[in-house]
């Protein structure tokens, strides 16, 4: 026989379950973004994306931007982020630790570049042996790890890498003649002011690799991860969404998974990783 007490207990349990469900959760998810740009520009790019994602999903997100990539890497390794936009090698290295799950990425590949001042006498990667090379961080995939690996393994050139903290700083340093060369990626170069781009020349482009993913920590419920992935893809399919993602830059968003990034484990980049 069902008693009043039993019914009340059942109703209370149902109420608790509903409160805990993703649709009703008041949890604030931490959304970390690798600091490719200085903080003001990074927030200007990402805050509208987060606001639209919140509006469409009903979930709450807190945008987190560290001052340096080193700080970002430390928080990533701690699992501080529920969602994260990071370079692919960050996600690969954490696959046996935090186990972040890639959700979406740009269809266009990522390629590292070496830039010099337009009137520089430097013409080939061979000439960079023992020359100063500005990089945005020691462990930036296209702009540092792959470039340093290629220079040493293919061109027998070992540059003197100098960490200038952001991609924008790399291009500015080279344009001002403070460093003879700099490592970056095609996408961030295209985001620089025309006045900076006009002063630079590319002397080397790396092989292609899958672009930076937006990835989720496995502690996020699968239903929430699926909802976020679906919503991001829907956003990117609209004209307004394309404009939001263009500044990241993401040109054409597609679903992704760890399978897309696994081949990079064979590239020997761990040799150049700086802890």
- The Cα–Cα gap between 243 and 108 comes to 16
Q: β-pairing, 132-135 with 213-216?
A: unpaired
What tens digit of pLDDT does each residue of 152-173 get? 999 999 999 999 999 999 999 9
* Residue 22 Cα distances to 50, 59, 224, 245, 260, angstroms: 17, 8, 6, 25, 28
- pLDDT band of 275, cuts 50, 70, 90: confident
Domain residue ranges in the chain: 26-107+210-272, 112-205
| Residues 211 and 164 sit within 8 Å (Cβ to Cβ) | no
pLDDT at 70: 87
What tens digit of pLDDT does each residue of 58-84 get? 999 999 999 888 899 999 999 999 999
Nearest 10 degrees: Cα torsion 245, 247, 251, 255: -40
pLDDT value at 206 more than 60: yes
What tens digit of pLDDT does each residue of 102-153 get? 999 999 999 999 999 999 999 999 999 999 999 999 999 999 999 999 999 9
> Can you give the pTM of this predicted structure?
0.81
Same fold: 26-107+210-272 with 112-205: yes
> Rg of the chain over CA atoms, in angstroms?
22
| Residues 59 and 228 sit within 8 Å (Cβ to Cβ) | yes
Residue 274 contacts by C-beta under 8 Å, 6 or more apart in sequence?
Answer: 138, 139
pLDDT at 68: 87
What tens digit of pLDDT does each residue of 22-71 get? 444 579 999 999 998 889 999 999 999 999 999 999 999 999 999 888 89
pLDDT value at 14 more than 70: no
Order of strands across the sheet that contains 112-117:
160-163, 132-135, 181-185, 112-117, 200-205
What tens digit of pLDDT does each residue of 242-252 get? 999 999 999 99
The class of domain 112-205 in CATH terms is alpha beta
Nearest Cα neighbor of 252 from 230, 269, 271, 237 is 237
Which has more pLDDT, 1 or 244?
A: 244
What's the whole-number mean pLDDT along residues 186-205? Answer: 96
pLDDT value at 12 more than 50: no
List the CATH code of the domain at 26-107+210-272.
Answer: 3.40.190.10
pLDDT at 11: 46
| Residues 137 and 69 sit within 8 Å (Cβ to Cβ) | yes
- The Cα–Cα gap between 56 and 266 comes to 39
pLDDT at 21: 46
């Amino acid at each position: 026989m069902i008693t009043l007490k039993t019914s009340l207990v059942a109703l209370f349990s149902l109420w608790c379950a509903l409160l805990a469900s993703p649709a009703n959760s008041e949890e604030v998810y931490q959304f970390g973004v690798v600091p490719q740009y200085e903080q003001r520009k990074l927030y200007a790019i990402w805050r509208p994306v987060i606001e639209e994602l919140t509006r469409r999903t009903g979930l709450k997100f807190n945008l987190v931007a560290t001052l340096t990539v080193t700080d970002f890497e430390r928080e990533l390794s701690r699992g501080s982020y529920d969602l994260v936009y990071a370079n692919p090698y960050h996600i690969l290295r954490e696959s046996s630790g935090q186990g972040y799950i890639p959700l979406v990425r740009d269809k266009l590949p990522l390629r590292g570049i070496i830039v010099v001042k337009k009137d520089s006498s430097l013409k080939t990667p061979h000439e960079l042996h023992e020359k100063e090379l500005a990089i945005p961080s020691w462990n930036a995939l296209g702009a540092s790890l792959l470039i340093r690996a290629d220079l040493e393994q293919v061109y027998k050139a070992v540059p003197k890498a100098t960490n200038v903290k952001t991609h924008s700083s790399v291009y500015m340093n080279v344009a001002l003649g403070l460093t003879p060369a700099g490592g970056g990626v095609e996408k961030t170069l295209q985001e620089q002011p025309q006045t900076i781009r006009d002063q630079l020349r590319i002397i080397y482009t790396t092989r292609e690799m899958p672009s930076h993913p937006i990835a989720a920590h496995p502690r996020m419920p699968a239903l929430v991860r699926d909802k976020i992935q679906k919503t991001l893809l829907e956003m990117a399919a609209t004209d307004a969404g394309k404009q939001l993602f263009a500044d990241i830059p993401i040109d054409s968003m597609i679903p992704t998974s760890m399978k897309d990034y696994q081949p990079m484990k064979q590239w020997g980049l761990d040799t150049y990783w700086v802890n």
